[in-house]
């Protein structure tokens, strides 16, 4: 098949799966998940074919594959939709397809397919477990199947559709639509267990917070369209004249150029979607959804979309910038916000006990790296980290889901009332869940950037050397300290979860998850370890040049003029030092945590630890600044004053006026003139009416029946008289 046709087809199978499941097969669990799996599998297959064809072509960066059809008629001309395949699209497709497929497979196991129905499970709550009798007559409690199993697969299929559409499209409008589809899906999936108030709140929070960023992005989109008359990537981003004009023309705001203003507005969309400070608050709460959803949001789709947008519009963001010169306003803000977020989120992650929450903050932190890398112009490094991060973060989330699953199993067995997600309740799971342990360790090493044998090392090293080589020392220091903290909390997590001795009965009874869950973990670990080797820089001591830097060449075509040229050993040694140092420090601090112990850091840090544990009180701050005033506005101002007093007054006034007019008509015109004449007539008609009233049953449908019958007969007669004759 033609490559272009294949690209058109990529987003369709999951969409089809969504509709089929939602309309027809929602009662059949197996059929539903097979539909979703086949949908994701087909998309994966198409993506892989496109990927392998693309890497064999030579100058995809210069001449991207494009095709489009007219879609919406506008006053003048058409809005066209189409596809756009360049190296960025191809590598994004690669990791999206893999992670999505793995998450789909994993979900089958995560939602306990094949287990019995729960004893008192209800839709909207996580399954509680079912009791079964074995052959000896003993009653066991085993995990029970998710009550809304099919609904879950319908939603994530729609989610995958949104992401694939976003990746292959060739214009900003469709990107925005796909972006919003994902916003909707994240709302639906975070609030999947909607009977829990916390899940409902988290869903609303995620939706509203990202909406703030989206609003700015929509403004940027509108500005871009009104200035250039198009939203197509090719016509804006590959067109030097357009970029030049935008970079020169002054906008009415803050002395920015139009390119700067639009860049900042689009970047606000990234801030919302990729959870950068100050709009990061939704992402940790998004953990209320099922774990595959967390992996979906944090690795494969949602947050990657924000970085993808920033990378896609890098030519616009950096319009007018040359390496070595001062940064453009959008780039400056990206570098500042990104590096700040990286450190800020990493400090919070250090003090969290929920296994998924640690990962959530680490996601925010890693996204900060990518944003900062784009900000300092290290385009290739940012995209590289996007890809490696997608794989190892998906792996970590699925691994933590597997841990939680094992712990829930233990809780059902032991009957303890403990939180199966709290790392303080775990420990020693290494022996209980070996596959999960080893794959989680691979992911953890990649996250902390362990030298040579982890993909995270290569991409993070490139970001650090990009920041250092460009001369942005503050950014470099911020990112390096974030990397130290990253290694520290990763090791803290691994130590608390897997090493040592079990701290609770439940942890002692945890069991390894089923193969349908561990298999995706193994596949993803391979990527988490080996993926870095496709992007080893040429000037890396010892290894450089042995394996060609395929990634750098392939993606580097996109931004040929950008990227740092110089190479220094300082960032390399820094990244090795912080990574290994952080890991050792983490292990040393947490190696001997007993059941019931306080966090060792809590003793050392005191008040600071409490601030970190409470995420710098950002949620409380937002509640005070935004939520309370909004409630006041809605309840007191709008509802009580505007609505009840002003609007109701107007409506009732009109009503009263009409009623008064009616009374005047009735008194002076109707009664003397019309009624007088009518009375005579009516008396004559009354007799007739008395006879006709038998037909009047008062039932509207009987009247309609007569009307239909007579109309039909009349039509037949007319046809016979005038047409046949």
Q: Which is nearer to another protein, 640 or 656 (CB)?
A: 656
How many other C-beta atoms are found inside a 10 Å radius of the C-beta of residue 647? 12
721 binds another protein (CB under 8 A): no
In angstroms, rounded to a whole number, what is the distance separating the alpha carbons of residues 641 and 620? 28
In the complex, the smallest distance separating the C-beta of residue 653 from another protein, rounded to whole angstroms, is 13
What is the rounded (10 degree) CA torsion for 612, 616, 622, 628? Answer: 90
Contacts for 245-252: CB closer than 8 Å, 24+ residues apart: 246/316, 246/319, 247/319, 247/320, 247/328, 248/320
- Tokens representing residue 432 in the block: 């209980």
- For 447, 657, 678, 681, 686, the CA distances from 670, given in Å and listed in that order, are 86, 18, 10, 15, 20
In angstroms, rounded to a whole number, what is the distance separating the alpha carbons of residues 103 and 520? 7
In the complex, the smallest distance separating the C-beta of residue 279 from another protein, rounded to whole angstroms, is 29
653 binds another protein (CB under 8 A): no
In angstroms, rounded to a whole number, what is the distance separating the alpha carbons of residues 379 and 371? 10
Q: Which is nearer to another protein, 560 or 704 (CB)?
A: 704
Applying CB under 8 A, among 250, 705, 714, 717 the residue interacting with another protein is 705
In the complex, the smallest distance separating the C-beta of residue 716 from another protein, rounded to whole angstroms, is 7
Asked if residue 367 lies in contact with residue 282, where contact means CB atoms within 8 angstroms, the answer is no
List residues bridging with 82 in a β-sheet. Answer: 68
682 binds another protein (CB under 8 A): no
660 binds another protein (CB under 8 A): no
Hunting for tokens 């004249």 — which residue is that? 241
Q: Which is nearer to another protein, 637 or 712 (CB)?
A: 712
What is the CB-side half-sphere exposure of residue 381 using CA atoms within 13 A? 31
723 binds another protein (CB under 8 A): yes
Q: What share of the chain is helix, strand, coil (3-state, %, to 5)?
A: 70, 5, 25
Q: Which stretch binds another protein (CB under 8 A): 124-132, 163-171, 585-593, 709-717?
A: 709-717
Applying CB under 8 A, among 501, 592, 708, 717 the residue interacting with another protein is 708
Applying CB under 8 A, among 133, 701, 721, 722 the residue interacting with another protein is 701
Q: Which stretch binds another protein (CB under 8 A): 136-144, 400-408, 445-453, 687-695?
A: 687-695
In the complex, the smallest distance separating the C-beta of residue 17 from another protein, rounded to whole angstroms, is 17
2 binds another protein (CB under 8 A): no
645 binds another protein (CB under 8 A): no
Applying CB under 8 A, among 473, 651, 664, 717 the residue interacting with another protein is 651
Q: Is 249 helix (H, G, I), strand (E, B) or coil?
A: coil
E strands, 21-169, are 65-73, 78-85, 130-133, 139-142
Applying CB under 8 A, among 683, 699, 721, 722 the residue interacting with another protein is 699
In the complex, the smallest distance separating the C-beta of residue 705 from another protein, rounded to whole angstroms, is 6
704 binds another protein (CB under 8 A): yes
Q: Which is nearer to another protein, 541 or 698 (CB)?
A: 698
In angstroms, rounded to a whole number, what is the distance separating the alpha carbons of residues 491 and 487? 6
Q: Which residue, among 538, 514, 509, 491, has the nearest Cα to 426 in the 3D structure?
A: 509
474 binds another protein (CB under 8 A): no
In the complex, the smallest distance separating the C-beta of residue 696 from another protein, rounded to whole angstroms, is 3
Asked if residue 91 lies in contact with residue 382, where contact means CB atoms within 8 angstroms, the answer is no
Applying CB under 8 A, among 697, 710, 714, 717 the residue interacting with another protein is 697
In the complex, the smallest distance separating the C-beta of residue 699 from another protein, rounded to whole angstroms, is 5
Q: Which stretch binds another protein (CB under 8 A): 196-204, 273-281, 358-366, 697-705?
A: 697-705
Q: Rounded to the nearest 5°, which phi and psi values hold at 636?
A: -90, -55
Q: Which stretch binds another protein (CB under 8 A): 54-62, 288-296, 515-523, 649-657?
A: 649-657
How many residues belong to the site for another protein (CB under 8 A)?
25
Asked if residue 191 lies in contact with residue 202, where contact means CB atoms within 8 angstroms, the answer is yes
Applying CB under 8 A, among 434, 545, 606, 689 the residue interacting with another protein is 689
Q: Which is nearer to another protein, 666 or 697 (CB)?
A: 697
In angstroms, rounded to a whole number, what is the distance separating the alpha carbons of residues 401 and 107? 10
Q: Which stretch binds another protein (CB under 8 A): 67-75, 269-277, 505-513, 563-571?
A: 67-75
- For 277, 460, 623, the CA distances from 451, given in Å and listed in that order, are 29, 10, 42
Q: Which is nearer to another protein, 417 or 691 (CB)?
A: 691
Compute the radius of gyration of the chain from its Cα atoms: 31
716 binds another protein (CB under 8 A): yes
Q: Is 320 helix (H, G, I), strand (E, B) or coil?
A: coil
Q: Which is nearer to another protein, 638 or 697 (CB)?
A: 697
Site for another protein in 77-116 (CB under 8 A): none
Chain contacts with another protein (rule: CB under 8 A): 72-73, 75, 651, 654-655, 689, 692-701, 704-705, 708, 712, 715-716, 719, 723
């Amino acid at each position: 098949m033609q490559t272009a046709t294949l690209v058109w087809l990529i987003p369709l199978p999951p969409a089809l799966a969504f509709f089929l499941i939602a309309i027809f097969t929602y009662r059949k669990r197996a059929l539903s998940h097979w539909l979703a799996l086949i949908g994701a599998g087909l998309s994966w297959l198409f993506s892989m074919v496109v990927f392998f064809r693309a890497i064999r072509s030579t100058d995809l960066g210069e001449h991207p594959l494009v095709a489009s059809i007219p879609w919406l008629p506008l006053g003048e001309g058409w809005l066209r939709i189409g596809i756009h395949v360049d190296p960025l699209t191809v590598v994004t497709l690669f990791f999206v397809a893999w992670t999505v497929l793995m998450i789909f497979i994993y979900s089958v196991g995560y939602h306990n397919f094949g287990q019995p129905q729960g004893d008192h499970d209800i839709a909207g709550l996580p399954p509680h477990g079912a009791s079964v009798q074995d052959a000896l007559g003993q009653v066991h409690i085993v995990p029970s199947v998710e009550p809304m199993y099919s609904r879950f697969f319908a939603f994530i299929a729609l989610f995958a559709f949104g992401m694939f559409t976003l990746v292959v499209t060739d214009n900003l409008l469709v990107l925005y639509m796909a972006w919003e589809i994902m916003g909707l899906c994240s709302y639906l999936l975070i609030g999947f267990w909607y009977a829990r108030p916390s899940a409902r709140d988290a869903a609303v929070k995620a939706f509203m917070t990202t909406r703030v960023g989206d609003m700015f992005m929509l403004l940027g989109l509108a500005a871009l369209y009104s200035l250039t008359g198009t939203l197509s990537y090719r016509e804006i981003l590959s067109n030097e004249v357009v970029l030049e004009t935008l970079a020169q023309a002054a906008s009415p705001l803050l002395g920015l150029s139009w390119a700067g203003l639009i860049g900042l507005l689009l970047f606000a969309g990234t801030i919302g979607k990729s959870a950068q400070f100050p709009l990061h608050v939704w992402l940790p709460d998004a953990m209320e959804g099922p774990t595959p959803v967390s992996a979906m949001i944090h690795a494969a789709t949602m947050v990657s979309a924000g970085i993808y947008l920033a990378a896609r519009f890098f030519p616009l963001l950096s319009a007018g910038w040359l390496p070595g010169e001062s940064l453009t306003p959008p780039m400056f803000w990206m570098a500042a916000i990104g590096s700040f977020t990286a450190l800020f989120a990493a400090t919070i992650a250090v003090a969290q006990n929920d296994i998924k929450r640690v990962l959530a903050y680490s996601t925010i932190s890693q996204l900060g790296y990518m944003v900062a890398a784009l900000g300092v112009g290290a385009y290739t490094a940012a995209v590289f980290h996007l890809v490696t991060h997608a794989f190892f973060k998906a792996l970590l989330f699925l691994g933590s889901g597997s841990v939680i699953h094992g712990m829930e199993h233990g809780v059902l067995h032991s009957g303890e009332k403990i939180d199966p997600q709290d790392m303080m309740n775990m420990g020693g799971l290494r022996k209980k869940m070996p596959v999960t342990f080893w794959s989680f360790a691979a992911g953890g090493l990649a996250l902390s950037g362990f030298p040579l044998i982890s993909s995270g090392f290569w991409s993070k090293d490139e970001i650090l050397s990009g920041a250092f080589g460009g001369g942005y020392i503050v950014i470099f220091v911020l990112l390096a300290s974030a990397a130290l903290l990253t290694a520290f909390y990763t090791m803290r997590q691994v130590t608390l979860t897997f090493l040592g001795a079990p701290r609770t009965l439940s942890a002692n009874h945890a069991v390894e998850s089923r193969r349908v869950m561990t298999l995706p973990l193994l596949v993803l670990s391979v990527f988490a370890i080996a993926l870095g080797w496709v992007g080893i820089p040429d000037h890396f001591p010892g290894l450089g040049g042995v394996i060609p830097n395929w990634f750098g060449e392939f993606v580097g075509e996109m931004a040929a003029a950008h990227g740092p040229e110089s190479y220094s050993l300082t960032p390399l040694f820094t990244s090795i030092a912080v990574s290994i140092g952080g890991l050792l420090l983490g292990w040393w601090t947490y190696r001997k945590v007993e059941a019931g112990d306080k966090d060792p850091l809590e003793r050392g840090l005191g008040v600071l630890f409490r601030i970190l544990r409470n995420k710098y009180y950002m949620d409380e701050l937002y509640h005070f600044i935004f939520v309370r005033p909004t409630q006041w506005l809605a309840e007191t101002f709008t509802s009580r004053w505007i609505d009840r007093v002003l609007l109701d007054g107007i409506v009732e006034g009109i009503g009263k006026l009409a009623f008064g007019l009616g009374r005047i008509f009735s008194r002076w015109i109707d009664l003397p003139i019309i009624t007088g004449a009518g009375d005579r007539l009516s008396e004559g008609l009354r007799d007739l009416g008395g006879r006709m009233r038998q037909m009047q049953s008062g039932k509207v449908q009987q009247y309609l029946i007569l009307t239909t019958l007579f109309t039909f007969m009349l039509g037949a007669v007319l046809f016979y008289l005038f047409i046949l004759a």
